[in-house]
Structure formats: C-alpha cells, structure tokens
Copies of this chain bind each other. A is one copy, B any other.
Amino acid sequence: MTSTEPSSDEAANASIDAQTSGIQGALDLVGDRWSMLILRASFRGVRRFSAIQTDLGIAKNLLADRLARLVDADILARVPYQDRPVRHEYVLTEKGRDLSAVLIALMHWGDRWCHHGSAPTVLVHDECGEPIEHSVRCPACATDLSPGQIQSRPGRRAGRERTKP
C-alpha cells in the first residue's frame, strides 16, 4: 500500500486564494451543466430561445434563467436578428468565446473516457482535415509540459508556490 503525506504547503495558502478565486469565479458563472450546454449550443450557432430549448430539451424557465445570467455575466449578448417584430438571439461575446478552450477540453476528455459505445469524435483542422494537437508548452525551454510541471504564481511576482492545476 502507498503511504503518502499530505502536501505541506499549507502555510502559503494566503496567495493560493488568489488562484482559487479564478476557478471559483469561473465556476460561479459557468459551473453548472445547463450553462455549459447552452454555451456549446452557442458555439454551434444555435442562438435563439426556441432553438436552444429544442436542441437541449431544457425547461423554459431554466433556459430563461441561465440566459439572463450569462447575459448579466457578459458571456452572451442579446442581439436583435429581425425587426418586425423585434426578436433577439444570444451571441457569444469575446469573454464567451474565450470559453472555447474549456469546452474543447471537456469534449476531448468526454470523448476519450465517456464514449459509451458511440464513435468518439476527432477534432481536426478544418482546412486540411488532420487531427489537431493540444499542447501546453514552455516557450523558453521549447518543451511540452505535463500537468505536473506547471506551477501557478500570482501575476505580481509576489512569491512562488508549487501547485498543480
């Protein structure tokens, strides 16, 4: 059996809070199943209330609630798509589009580990059709990094803490 000791960096948790607030903030805004699925629909061009509702099979009250939250959070913008009568669709903002990495990572993981017998998807470069590569690199060392080789640090260079994601 393995005997491992708990991490002993707990004295330095004051600035780990700075890191935590990033992911906490993200999860506060998008850390629920429906929000993620709505965002995924947006990336796929499904932007109207009825279309999203049909696509996801979500209750209308929940959809209205989530859309309002995502608009409040400036992740989606409510944009008119016609005049008579005026009708709106929900369009990703830049902030919302930046969530693509999260969705891609989720999809990758899901396809690898949750494919339930259906064919996994492959993400490809649209121009050449070859599978894409996801990487995390150190440009200074010109090497790819594994998750264990990443630390995070406050942006102000106030100190160093060793953490994993």
Interface size on A, residues (CB 8 A): 100
CA distance A47 to B155 in the complex (A): 27
A22: chain B residues at CB < 8 Å are: 107-108, 110-111, 114-115, 120-121
Main secondary structure of the interface of A (DSSP, over half): mixed
Residue from the set A106, A122, A149, A152 with the largest chain B CB neighbour count within 10 Å: A106
Q: A150–B134 contact, CB under 8 A?
A: no
CA distance A42 to B129 in the complex (A): 37
Whose C-beta in chain B lies nearest to the C-beta of A126? B151
Q: Given known contacts A101-B105, A104-B147, A130-B141, is B154 in contact with A122 (CB within 8 Å)?
A: yes
Which A-B residue pairs are the 4 nearest by beta carbons?
A25-B114, A26-B110, A7-B45, A22-B110
Residue among B3, B27, B98 making CB contact with A33, cutoff 8 Å: B27
Whole-angstrom distance from the CB of A156 to the nearest CB of chain B? 5
Residue among B44, B114, B129 making CB contact with A7, cutoff 8 Å: B44
Q: A127–B149 contact, CB under 8 A?
A: yes
A95: chain B residues at CB < 8 Å are: 113
Q: B125–A152 contact, CB under 8 A?
A: no
A119 at the interface (CB under 8 A from B): yes
A123 at the interface (CB under 8 A from B): yes
Whose C-beta in chain B lies nearest to the C-beta of A102? B105
17 A/B residue pairs, CB under 8 Å, sorted by A: A1-B83, A2-B81, A17-B118, A21-B110, A23-B106, A26-B109, A27-B37, A31-B32, A43-B147, A44-B163, A98-B109, A100-B164, A119-B156, A121-B153, A122-B153, A126-B149, A130-B138
